[in-house]
Structure 1
Amino acid sequence: METMWAEVVADGQPPLPNSEVVSKVLSQNSSNTTFFKNTGIATPSSKSKSAGEEALHEELATEKQGSAVPHQELEELKKKSEVADEALKESNLILSQILSLSTPGISSQP
């Protein structure tokens, strides 16, 4: 337990209540939570989310869904840009061939 106490004090945080220290130590050493239920100590896994926490999780999920749409649009625009670049290269090649045929005396080869 001294290790946890040293970590908490070293971080500059106020010391944890004894029940929290006991909860952390016992939860690391045992998967049995009957003791916690009997004593009324909430374990990290048994704590329910507060309304504010739940709202933040919902907001985060909404933002993740919203960010997926612009990402898909960006990928589509990249594909369209690649197609347009290929078409432009072909057009430039055709144009240079036409110019080399229509201008006598100028060779397209160096």
Structure 2
Amino acid sequence: METMRTEPVADVQPPLPSADVDSKVLSQNSSNTTFLKNAGIPTSTSKSQSAGEEVLHQELSSEKKGSAILHKQVEKHKKKTEAAEEALTRTQRQYEELKEQQDESNVILMKFLNLNTPGTFSQP
């Protein structure tokens, strides 16, 4: 029986981590890298990921711009609403003041009519 001898081998690359080995083998044998992505193992299709990431970055940028525009519109509508509420409050206050004046005028008018109506006695 022959015994195996272990001798150092010159110019040997350090062993790859198992995730890298799995990634290379699986990506060579299958075009579907969903398993690798779900397992958190990077795949060698970095160019398609970069293009996909670029598209996502563009979409995100568009969403941010749209959000900023909507935020400005909301702020503009808030200011208009506040102005309208202030105007409504002023109008309600004026209405209440006019109502009080009308009530006072009616009291004065009733007193005046009672004084000038013949056959009624006025009280001092």
Structure 1-normalised TM-score? 0.48
Larger Rg: 2
